[in-house]
Chain A
Amino acid sequence: MTLEFVMAKPILTIKNLTKKYGGNAVFHNIDLTVNEGDTIVIIGPSGTGKSTLLRCINLLTCADEGQIWLDDLEITAKGCDDDRVRQHIGMVFQNFLLFNHLTALDNVMLGLTKVKHMKPEEARVKALSELERVGLSDRADHYPGQLSGGQQQRVAIARALAMDPRIMLFDEPTSALDPELIGEVLEVMRKLALEGMTMLVVTHEMGFAREVADRIVFLEKGSIVEEGSPDDLFYHPKNERTREFLWKITELYGKKEENK
């Protein structure tokens, strides 16, 4: 047993998770463990329940069966305080969802003052340092409508980071961005991963997945088809579907590059 293995501590444990809409299962019997400091990337075709899975982890929707633990706390248990759990799980959305009526700084501060009940001066200092972390301290006084998509998404990341979450969930954070703005968001995420933040990322950015992920999970039709290290999945996929999907996506990615 290596030392690294001994130190690995699960932050998020998902067992047998199933979510249904009407009679159809969006996903079923998902098992997933995310250890401290891990970056796990979930890939897969659209409509396979990737986003819904993240929302279940954040308790924004209710799973139908199965359990989720955050550290040692079962957050799917009855009587669990959802609002409290969400404070410890950062979430970044595809379409940013900044609070439109607040400046970048106030967006980051709001959770600190209202949820964590920090004093305004303290919250301000903390919020500014989070904006600094995503390289936007010079945009603190700008409203979302005055920022580019990439900048908005970085503010959204800062807003989530400010709560000092145990884990960050990213739901296709670059899918709504112009190609030239994707880089700055991925750069921030790469930096976070290096700093040891625990991250669960749904994305189609294969370059990011290959470079940053500790593990890649291929989800299709509501179940995990294959999971493994980037090298395993990209170069030695065990499953034919994984090979096919990665080939298609890489081809698409390559074409996009050519068009530039």
Chain B
Amino acid sequence: MDVAKFLQYIASGTAYTVGVTLISLPAGLILGTLLALLNVYSGRLSKWLTNLYSTVMRGIPPIVLLFILYFIVSGSINLSPFLAGSISLGIVSSAYQMEIVRGAILSVSGGQMMAARAIGMTKRQAIRNVILPQTLRLAIPPWSNEAAIVIKDSSLVYALGVPEILRRAQLISASTQQPFLAFAAAAVIYFILVFITSRLLDRLEKRLRIPANP
């Protein structure tokens, strides 16, 4: 048995894992931010609709949603399992990211909006120049947590047949009868990815921190 070769085979799934994450995390952020803005700054109807969206999406296991969304997405457009799975995961994540951004918007106090309007800014200008720059800074720590979740949840696309880390580990496990070795290798790779990501985001948070006296 050529252990090194098997391990290399599992590790080469990392590209898929990273790829899925790099699509679904930003997609979820953009969608989540838009939903949060609608929730806070639009009318009663859009508040109700976005709350409904968030409640329903967060009340269903990601894997179940992934299957449902995958069949909707891949049924309406012809996409590879990789792309369809990534987009679906992004949609799942958007509900969680919406709550993160919404919480951050609410803690940037209504006062900032009022001050921006008072110098003649439109709501849109105020959101763009005053609210979002502060909100996104505040959102980094909870967002770092969500990033870790999405990296780990990217393993779910294995169920759609995407040859990412978990799928490869399972194939090796079945063919070598060495499940521990195969899954431990997968675990180590996931851990390293999550670890590096949260370290990078910590650094980003420190770099963007607004200077203040202690």
Residues of A that sit less than 8 Å from B by CB: 58, 60, 83-84, 86-91, 93, 95, 97-101, 110-111, 114-115, 143-146, 156, 159-160, 163
Contacts and interface: CB of A to CB of B under 8 A. Distances in A.
User: Does more than half of chain B's interface fall in helix, strand or loop, or is it mixed?
Assistant: helix
B15 interface: no
B125 to A, nearest CB: 5
B119 A159 contact: yes
A83 B129 CA distance: 16
B211 to A, nearest CB: 5
B203 interface: no
Contacts of B213: 145-146
A170 to B, nearest CB: 12
A160 B212 contact: no
A58 B118 CA distance: 7
B75 interface: no
B210 A101 contact: yes
B164 to A, nearest CB: 38
Query: Max chain B CB contacts within 10 Å: which of A91, A97, A159, A163?
Result: A97
B137 to A, nearest CB: 7
Contacts of B114: 60, 93, 97
B121 interface: yes
A100 B113 CA distance: 12
Interface in B160-176: none
A143 B210 contact: yes
Given A99-B134, A114-B129, A160-B118, 4 more contacts: A83-B120, A144-B212, A145-B213, A163-B119
Contact of A114 (B121, B137, B212): B121
16 contacts: A58-B118, A60-B114, A86-B117, A86-B119, A88-B120, A98-B115, A99-B115, A99-B130, A110-B119, A110-B130, A143-B210, A143-B211, A145-B213, A146-B213, A163-B119, A163-B120
Contacts of A100: 112, 134, 210
Interface in B129-161: 129-130, 133-134, 137
Contacts of B137: 101
B115 A146 contact: no
A93 B122 CA distance: 19
Contact of B125 (A95, A97, A114): A114
B59 interface: no
A83 B210 CA distance: 29
A20 to B, nearest CB: 21
B45 to A, nearest CB: 21
Interface string B186-214: 00000000000000000000000011110
B129 A110 contact: yes
Nearest first, the 7 A-B pairs at minimum CB distance are: A145-B212, A87-B120, A97-B115, A111-B119, A91-B118, A115-B120, A86-B120
A99 B116 contact: yes
Contacts of A60: 114, 117-118
A61 B151 CA distance: 45
Nearest to A142: B211
B111 interface: yes
A75 B212 CA distance: 39
Contacts of B122: 83
A50 to B, nearest CB: 16
Contacts of B133: 101
Contacts of A97: 111-112, 114-115
B119 to A, nearest CB: 4
A83 B123 CA distance: 9
A59 B108 CA distance: 22
Nearest to A148: B213
Contacts of B125: 114-115
A51 B129 CA distance: 26
A137 B137 CA distance: 28
Contacts of A144: 212
Nearest to B214: A145
Contact of A86 (B111, B118, B129, B210): B118
A244 to B, nearest CB: 34
Contacts of A95: 111
Nearest to A82: B117
A111 B120 contact: yes
A83 B211 contact: no
Centre residue among A84, A86, A114, A143 by max chain B CB count within 10 A: A114
